[in-house]
């Protein structure tokens, strides 16, 4: 049984149905006390305006999603991408979000070199640390599923996230976001979550559908797939994580087509029965 | 530059275009000396008939694909699945294929327990060893991509394949199939390939397309994606593998729609320039 006070809903779960104002309204109306915001929507609505809306609503934020894609082999492109992450950190600070979810970036077709892409991502994070510290927003390194390694993130496992954190030596400002959908398959999951310990600063849940039809937009509601979500929640809690459980469901063929209040009602139920 | 004598083409690469007889003809006509056979096609054409055809053609076989799916939590189902693998081993022996590619099986929605599924798969392989030895066909454990973990294989990494081989202690009859498409993203790839050493008994190549649109049927031709294939080939060769390089491309939207001779011509070219 998840303490209902620990439930957070990620804006992307209602991405096509709701403007930012409508999204906050749905949460308030259904008694959900925490959200994670999607950057594109926030910029569309305006960062200051979003910050005011959130403050007035009394909704807490568990995160701001996302910044990154800094693996370009072109130095100018990579520097511009890091500047963009700095702006995202500034926005997260303005919103009073505790962390920015960091998506490393993929493998560039120009060099086809995954080891170099990883090295550039790690160097780039090191370069971003002073700015993150100055604005007080944690960089949440999020291992993403290997199926989006080419396009979105060469950070593919908890083990690699821990190795990066070891190298960076900045656990005060660089943490790890554990997303069940991205890491559930990992044979080393339990030991690497334990190793991460207090580095875990964000925990995202959704389920893996057996008949998955898309590499990014076909996540399942908790309880509809094959992931033992309570087991993974126990792992992160045993590692010391006691924060929000953030529901993040990209679902083009199902939940994105449904009424927002219905989606939130199902989430509240499944947070109790299947998370 | 790959020695052209080391090129093998997997039947699945021309799955919808060719019957088994047409497939063997295309290889002979284009001077390709080795193939891997697809079990469904082989049974459709007849095992003895296929064996005769292959023998008469002078084509060598690098493998027989596949047997497995033994992770059911139902004992009767699991026993039946192991019997089916024994039949596949018999067929591989009749064909004089050196190995049977082993696909572990997925996570059952009935128990949602990936750790148990892995334990059952490992126990099941142990149970199959006597039969594999008796017919002289190696079981090639193939780590498959985590994106098909739920449905096809809970054996998701080279590290886990090595751990299973360590436990089984049967390197004479249980080996590992390295498929670039399945493992290219793995941060531990180089060290785990080195650890595998002579366990590597099969090497499959295809490329990862940046705009991948399907979880199983959208593999790319070597050189069309982001995998550094020559680097992975160097890893397996440094580990001691000197066998066939097997081209295995499931490609519903591209190569499966093309003329078989054209596909083979491109493969022969890319085996030289991009593998």
Among A104, A107, A274, most B C-beta atoms within 10 A, so best to mutate, is A107
Query: Mean pLDDT in chain B?
Result: 98
Distance CA B102, CA B90 (A): 14
Contacts of B160 in chain A (CB under 8 A): 187
> Are B150 and A212 within 8 A, CB to CB?
yes
Q: Which whole number is the average pLDDT over B110-126?
A: 97
Low-confidence stretches of chain A (pLDDT < 50) are none
What is the pLDDT at residue A1? 82
Give the pLDDT confidence of B202-259 residue by residue, as tens digits: 999 999 999 999 999 999 999 999 999 999 999 999 999 999 999 999 999 999 999 9
Residue with the two structure tokens 């100055």 = A134
Which phi and psi (to 5°) does residue A63 adopt? 180, 170
Asked whether residue B1 carries a pLDDT value surpassing 90, the answer given is no
Distance CA A39, CA A53 (A): 15
Burial class of A76 by CB neighbour count within 10 A (0 to 12, 13 to 18, 19+): exposed
Given B146, B187, B225, which is nearest A147 (Cβ)? B146
- State the complex-level ipTM: 0.96
Name the token pair of B63. 């493998």
Q: Residue by residue, what is the 3-state secondary structure of chain A?
A: CCCHHHEEEEHHHHCCCCCHHHHHHHHHHCCCCEEEEEHHHHHHHCHHHHHHHHHHHCCEEEEEEEEECCCCCCHHHHHHHHHHHHHHHHHHHHHCCCEEEEECECCCCCCCCHHHHHHHHHHHHHHHHHHHHHHCCEEEECCCCHHHCCCCECCCCHHHHHHHHHHHCCCCCEEEEEEHHHHCCCCCHHHHHHHHHHHEEEEEECECCCCCCCCCCECECCCCCCCCHHHHHHHHHHCCCCCCEEECCCECCCHHHCCHHHHHHHHHHHHHHCC
What is the pLDDT at residue B201? 98
Q: Identify residues of A whose CB sits under 8 angstroms from chain B CBs.
A: 106-109, 112-114, 118, 145-147, 149-151, 154, 156-157, 159-160, 163, 184-188, 208-210, 212-213, 215, 225-228
Q: Which whole number is the average pLDDT over B103-112?
A: 94
% of chain B at pLDDT higher than 90: 99
Give the pLDDT confidence of A126-161 residue by residue, as tens digits: 999 999 999 999 999 999 999 999 999 999 999 999
What is the pLDDT at residue B102? 98
Distance CA A16, CA A12 (A): 8
Q: How many CB pairs under 8 A join A and B?
A: 91
């Amino acid at each position: 049984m998840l303490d209902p006070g620990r439930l957070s809903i990620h804006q992307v779960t209602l991405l096509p149905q709701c403007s930012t104002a409508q999204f906050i309204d749905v949460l308030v109306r259904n008694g959900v006390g925490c959200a994670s915001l999607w950057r594109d929507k926030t910029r569309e609505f305006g960062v200051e305006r979003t910050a005011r809306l959130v403050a007035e609503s009394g909704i807490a934020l568990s995160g701001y999603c996302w910044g990154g894609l800094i693996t370009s082999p072109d130095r100018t492109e990579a520097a511009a991408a890091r500047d963009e992450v700095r702006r995202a950190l500034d926005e997260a600070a303005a919103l009073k979000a505790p962390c920015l979810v960091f998506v490393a970036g993929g493998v560039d077709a120009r060099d086809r070199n995954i080891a170099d892409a990883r090295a550039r991502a790690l160097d780039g994070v090191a370069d971003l640390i002073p700015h993150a510290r100055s604005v007080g927003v944690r960089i949440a390194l999020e291992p993403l599923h290997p199926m989006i390694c080419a396009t979105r993130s060469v950070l593919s496992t908890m083990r690699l996230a821990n190795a990066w954190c070891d190298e960076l030596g900045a656990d005060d400002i660089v943490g790890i976001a554990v997303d069940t959908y991205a890491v559930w398959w990992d044979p080393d999951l339990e030991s690497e979550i334990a190793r991460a310990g207090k580095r875990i600063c964000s925990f995202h849940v959704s389920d893996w559908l057996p008949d998955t039809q898309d590499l990014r937009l076909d996540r399942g509601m908790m309880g509809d797939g094959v992931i033992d979500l309570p087991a993974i929640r126990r792992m992160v809690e045993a590692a010391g994580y006691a924060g929000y459980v953030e529901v993040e469901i990209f679902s083009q063929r199902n939940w994105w087509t449904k009424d927002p209040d219905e989606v939130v009602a199902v989430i509240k139920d499944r947070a109790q029965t299947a998370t």
